[in-house]
Amino acid sequence: MQRVVERDKLLETCRQLKADYEMLTDIAGVDNFGEDPRYEVVYHLYSFQKHEYLRLKVKVPEDDMIMDSLVSVWKTADWHEREVFDMFGIRFRNHPNLKRILMWDGYPYYPLRKDFPLAGIQTELPEYAEDAGKAEAANMLGGPFFGGTGTTSSREREPRQYDTPAEQQEKLKS
Amino acid sequence: MGAKKEIMNAPSQDVIVTRVDAAISWMRKNSVWPMPMGLACCGIELMAVGASRFDIARFGSEVMRFSPRQSDLMIVAGTCVYKMAGVVKRVWDQMPNPKWCMAMGACASTGGMYRSYATVQGVDRFLPVDVYISGCPPRPEAVLEGLMAIQRKIANEQALHAMKTGIASAPTHQPVTGPVIVRGDYATRR
Ligand code: SF4
């Protein structure tokens, strides 16, 4: 089941839903780049009595990226919300400890946003890691590489690195 | 019995003549204590190297030291992300000289399949790697071969010179080879 919830009604809705849906299994952020509102947060709830999942979708506009934290309802929301904050920069009101969870403190970007390059952007490393150099953009060498889903043999489906774009084109044609 | 006694009594038979350098290198190369920097799936394969079937103890390296102060060889086994890079570097800095470094697997050598913003594209960006082992993960045999490559390197070193200058890999009459690349796909896998 799926339900779209207004952003300001989320906390209240969830308080009521808690009676049926005891477990919050996941929170995901979505960046619908080019749409308005741009962001979306998806909650997955599970009911042990009904053996049923419920998916809640909340739209978050780009110019006001803050929403209510659900830590007061499900404690497990803590780390999930930190991850959404870390990857998308969506803030959660009344979160007990809203800091980055995967990237280091002080990292200036939100890497899962669609306008962030997969290879990354050159960045200073945190203080404790200074002598490990800089976080540099990865050399993509024509990637990212996809395996493809055709009926060809797995040997051909295997993603490979091509040293030049021409070589890659040639391969794709054949 | 009589023959043995004769040998025991002949001092010249008991003496081996060698260079101090060579003796030190020989001792070092047969007691390389690894610092297992298991960061991802390669770490599991590293455990296999230590376990009975492949048994790294045959090469004198059975003592995995989780304290950097007691280890000689850092085996970076796995994906190193930037957040972890500082920790790895700090552990490396805490290891006393002489020390060696092995990049085990595609991730540690080049970033592997993780061409992304989060992963260090090869630990040689901040560590002086002696041996690279290809494979995802490499076979345990390949790790053992990597270890033997390190042993050959150690055997070639001028230990006394290194002690004096504090440089682990001092150039010798037989120059120490540069980074060694070991093929990770052994026949047992194919
Ligand atoms: S090289 Fe492969 S097995 Fe080793 S850490 Fe990377 S992904 Fe895992």
Q: Say whether pLDDT at A149 is over 80.
A: no
| Inside any domain, residue B101 | yes
* Total structural domains within chain B: 1
Which residues of chain B make contact with A137, given a CB cutoff of 8 A?
117
Contact A120 B116 (CB under 8 A): yes
* Burial (CB count within 10 angstroms: exposed 0-12, middle 13-18, buried 19+), residue B185: middle
Residues of B whose CB is below 8 A from A138: 111, 115-117, 119, 121
Domain contains B111? yes
A158 pLDDT more than 80: no
- What pLDDT does residue B173 have? 42
Tell me if B165 is assigned to some domain: yes
Q: Kindly state whether residue B152 falls inside one of the protein's structural domains.
A: yes
pLDDT in tens, B53-82: 888 999 888 888 888 899 989 999 999 988
pTM: 0.79
Cα distance from A166 to chain B (closest Cα, Å)? 21
Confidence category of residue B155, pLDDT binned at 50, 70, 90: confident
Task: Pick the residue from chain B with its C-alpha nearest to A130.
Answer: B86
- How would residue B1 be classed by pLDDT, with cut points 50, 70 and 90? very low
- A9-31 mean pLDDT: 91
Tell me if B106 CB under 6 Å of ligand 1.
Answer: yes
Residue B185 has pLDDT above 80, yes or no: no
- Distance CA(A140)–CA(B114), nearest Å, equals 10
Query: Alpha carbon A2 to chain centroid distance?
Result: 19
The answer to whether residue B130 sits within a structural domain is yes
Q: What is the domain range of residue B120?
A: 18-182
Q: Which helix (H) or strand (E) holds B35?
A: strand B34-38
Q: How far A5 CA lies from chain B's nearest CA (Å)? A: 33
Is B126 domain-assigned? yes
CA distance A58 to A6: 6
Q: What count of CB pairs under 8 Å joins A to B?
A: 68
List the CATH number of the domain containing B56.
3.40.50.12280
Does B187 map to a domain? Answer: no
* Strand B100-104 with A23-31, pairing: unpaired
Task: State how far the Cα of B156 lies from the Cα of B140, in Å rounded to an integer.
Answer: 25
Residues 6+ apart with CB under 8 A from A169: none
Give dist(CA B143, CA B124) in Å, integer. 18
Chain B residues touching A158 at Cβ < 8 A: none
The total of other beta-carbon atoms located within 10 Å of residue A73's CB is: 18
Pairing outcome for strands B131-133 and A134-135 = unpaired
pLDDT tens-digit series, residues A78-106? 999 999 999 999 999 898 988 999 888 88
B174 pLDDT higher than 50: no
- Provide the pLDDT for residue A2: 86
Domains of chain A, earliest start first = 2-115 (3.30.460.80), 146-174 (no CATH)
* A5 C-alpha to ligand 1 centroid (Å): 41
Q: For all residues of chain B together, what is the average pLDDT?
A: 80
pLDDT range class, residue A42, cuts 50, 70, 90:
very high
Does residue B1 lie within any of the structural domains? Answer: no
Rounded to the nearest angstrom, the minimum Cα separation between A161 and chain B is 10
Using CA positions, which residue lies closest to atom 8 of ligand 1?
B41
Measured in Å, residue B42 CA sits from the centre of ligand 1 at 5
For chain A, give the mean pLDDT: 84
Nearest CB to A129 within list B85, B118, B119: B85
Which of A104, A112, A155 to mutate to probe the B interface, most B CBs <10 Å?
A: A104
